[in-house]
Amino acid sequence: MMKRHWLKVARVSSLMLLGLGAVTTTASAQVVQVTRADARHAVGFNLGYFMVKGADARPDQCFTGDDDCDTLIANLRATDPLLFEIDDFNSVTFGGEWLYAVSNYLETGVGVGYYRRTVPSVYAFLEHPGGAEIAQDLKLRMVPITATVRFLPVGRGGPVEPYIGGGVGFINWRYSESGEFVDSSDGTTFGATYKADGTAVGPVLLGGIRFPAGDAFTVGAELRWQKAEGDTNSVESQLLGNKIDLGGTSINFTMHVRF
pLDDT digits (tens, 9 = 90+) for 91-141: 999 999 999 999 999 999 999 999 999 999 999 999 999 899 999 999 999
Is 28 part of a structural domain of the chain?
Answer: no
Q: What percent of the chain has pLDDT over 90?
A: 71
What CATH number does the domain containing 139 carry? 2.40.160.20
Is 34 part of a structural domain of the chain?
Answer: no
- Average pLDDT over the chain reads 87
Secondary structure E strands in the chain = 41-52, 82-83, 91-101, 106-127, 133-151, 161-182, 189-213, 217-226, 229-231, 243-245, 248-258
Q: What pLDDT does residue 59 have?
A: 73
* C-beta of residue 148 within 8 angstroms of C-beta of residue 109: yes
Is 26 part of a structural domain of the chain?
Answer: no
In this prediction, residues 189-202 reach a mean pLDDT of: 97
| Domain span holding position 142 | 41-258
Is 2 part of a structural domain of the chain?
Answer: no
Lowest mean pLDDT among 46-55, 67-76, 219-228: 67-76
**Could you tell me the pTM of the whole model?**
0.82
Q: What pLDDT does residue 65 have?
A: 53
Number of domains present in the structure of the chain: 1
The C-alpha torsion from 56 through 59 and 60 to 61, rounded to 10°, is 150
